Amino acid sequence: MGDGWYDWRARADKGVRRAVRWPLEGVLFDVENDVFWPRSWGGRPGSAAARLDIVERQVGTWPQLVPLYGHRYLPAAPFGPGAPVFSVHQTDVVIYGIDLLDYVAREFGTTRSIPAPDLETDGLAPWSLLAFQEEVP
């Protein structure tokens, strides 16, 4: 526990609830500010309500992200050990570690020499695609 960490043991921790919703809120923010609208979603609706509906439906099909520290996230099950750690700020997604140990070493210690993951086949698209600034399916 401490600054940036989430208290998963506290039943009413509003910080955890906000952090769980943060990735969706970030996508919504970028959509509403004309920064993000993938072609694969079709034409961009004129009404905010219609855009919200599409964003929630689309992002709802993406792998759930679990808050780890600050705006660092792990994908939820079934990815398990070896899942990458993402830094998520709106649709600016960066891979901060190829797994939890790599992330902790990089964020809080020294970097380790580990080969880069093959994130195109790991089932984590579209978060992985956002990290590489590619078209989200």
pLDDT tens-place string over residues 32-90 = 999 999 999 999 999 999 999 999 999 999 989 999 999 999 998 777 778 899 999 99
Whether residue 137 lies inside any domain: the answer is no
Task: Give the Cα separation of 131 and 86 in Å (integer).
Answer: 8
Residue 14 has φ and ψ, to the nearest 5°, of -65, -30
On whether residue 107 sits in a domain, the answer given is: yes
Bigger pLDDT: 48 vs 133: 48
Q: How many structural domains does the chain have?
A: 1
Domain contains 5 = no
Q: In the prediction, which pLDDT does 137 show?
A: 54
Q: Say if 118 falls within a structural domain.
A: yes
Q: Would residue 2 count as lying in a domain?
A: no
* Domain residue limits at 65: 14-131
> Once rounded to an integer, what is the mean pLDDT over residues 25-29?
96
State mean pLDDT over 109-132: 61
- Give domain status of residue 7, yes or no: no
Whether the predicted pLDDT of 121 surpasses 80: no
Is 63 a domain residue? yes
* Residue 91 resides in a domain: yes
- pLDDT of 114 reads 54
